[in-house]
Amino acid sequence: MLRAENTLQRIFREIAKSGEISGRELARAVGLHPSTLAAKVRALERKGLAEFGDGHKRVGLNANFGYVVGIDLGASHLHFALADFRGEILNDATVRIRPEDGPQKMIRQIKESLRGVAEKVGHGRLRALAIGVPSPVDPVRGVVTYANNLPGWKDIHLGRELEKEFRVPIFMENDANMAAIGEHWRGVAQGVDNFVFIALGTGIGSGIFVDGKLYRGRTGSAGEVFRMNIEWQRWAEDFPDTGYFENYVSGLGIAAEGRKALGGMPPGEAGSLREERDAYFVFEAFRQGNPAARAVLEKIFTMFGVGVANVVAIVDPDLIVLGGGIVKGAPELMRAILDQVVHRLQPDPPPIQLSALEDKAQTYGAIHSALTLAQEAVLRRLR
């Protein structure tokens, strides 16, 4: 049976919702007389959790109580952001990775980079970590189930490795889900309880919010649109581990189609796996007026539009949010084709908007998730 929260817990939770709140609003929210509330806030202040501001008219979290780190593990990079206890970013860094190096070397790189980011702050205590990964995350075992764009990443206990190293609570989630959390917290989906975030980068995935909460599904794979098929005649064909949809609608798909259409760098002759997957040359050729590059993008964006329309048919969200590096390659062409296709297939589709957070959506989602972990740990100690 769930225990009712005590007064200190209720006050702390209300303060944590916004980071800072007026004394009058806080008193109304927790149902206390202002004088009683002030005494309770002073108790939180003595614990280093809260502080008064604006002549004791406002109450906020003590930003210096500790810090959290949000990590975005992509198919070509690691992005770290260190934030204070109110979620404001103090320091961040991006590190290039070689996906072909395998999980153990990359895990060592994560640990070393994280220590380097933390050392730049020089004070405070690490309270929690959260990391977004390009894979479903098993909700029972807490493992990276299968990162199809990271060779060797199958059933990897990344969370356990980080927890053992840093001895703080760890939250791990699929990167598109993490981006959806970020958009709901600080992006265009603030206040929108039913939306789908679609991340189009090296691969493709989505995060689904239903009734204000992330929907993960039975195995943690809800929103894994990379396996979606939009040609029923090809249902029995064998596709790479990326699946039918991601084989085309992704950075790696655009790069592969571009090499065939433009006679560019053939597969396997790139300097690294990351470079082989990079679709930059297709977008560059498009911007220079190359008709073959335009034809490639029109084909891929049309398929993308069909996929978005299918997602709308199943989820019926209030909003579709698009993020990831590929959406910035030719945004006007992409939006025009998506609008045409989705409106043709759906009589009343929801608005489609580009991410306000761009490539930081996953990072903000990780920061919010780490803060939530840290704050829940505080709440347990206030019992």
Task: For 110-166, write each residue's pLDDT tens digit.
Answer: 999 888 877 766 557 899 999 999 888 887 777 898 888 888 999 999 999 999 999
- What is 190-355's CATH number? 3.30.420.40
Query: Does the structure show a pLDDT above 60 at 283?
Result: yes
pLDDT digits (tens, 9 = 90+) for 8-67: 999 999 999 888 999 999 999 999 988 888 899 999 999 999 998 887 889 999 999 999
Centroid of chain to Cα 204? 13
Query: Does the structure show a pLDDT above 90 at 268?
Result: no
Band of pLDDT at residue 93, cut at 50, 70 and 90: confident
Helix, coil or strand: residue 143:
coil
Which homologous superfamily does the CATH classification assign to the domain defined by 66-181+361-381? ATPase, nucleotide binding domain (3.30.420.40)
Q: For the whole model, what pTM was predicted? A: 0.90
Span 269-277, average pLDDT: 54
DSSP state of 31: T
E strand map for 147-290: 154-156, 170-174, 195-200, 204-210, 213-215
Q: Where are the domains of the chain?
A: 7-61, 66-181+361-381, 190-355
Band of pLDDT at residue 184, cut at 50, 70 and 90: very high
Instruction: Identify the pLDDT of residue 67.
Output: 93
**What is the spatial distance between Cα 109 and Cα 75, in angstroms, rounded to a whole number?**
14
**What is the spatial distance between Cα 367 and Cα 110, in angstroms, rounded to a whole number?**
16
Query: Does the structure show a pLDDT above 50 at 269?
Result: no
Band of pLDDT at residue 1, cut at 50, 70 and 90: very low
- What is 7-61's CATH number? 1.10.10.10
Nearest partner of 16 among 64, 86, 68, 65, judged by Cα: 86
Specify whether the CB–CB gap between 44 and 38 falls below 8 A. Answer: no
Instruction: Identify the pLDDT of residue 116.
Output: 82
Domains 66-181+361-381 and 190-355 share a fold: yes
pLDDT digits (tens, 9 = 90+) for 199-228: 998 889 999 999 999 999 888 889 989 889
pLDDT digits (tens, 9 = 90+) for 158-175: 999 999 999 999 999 999
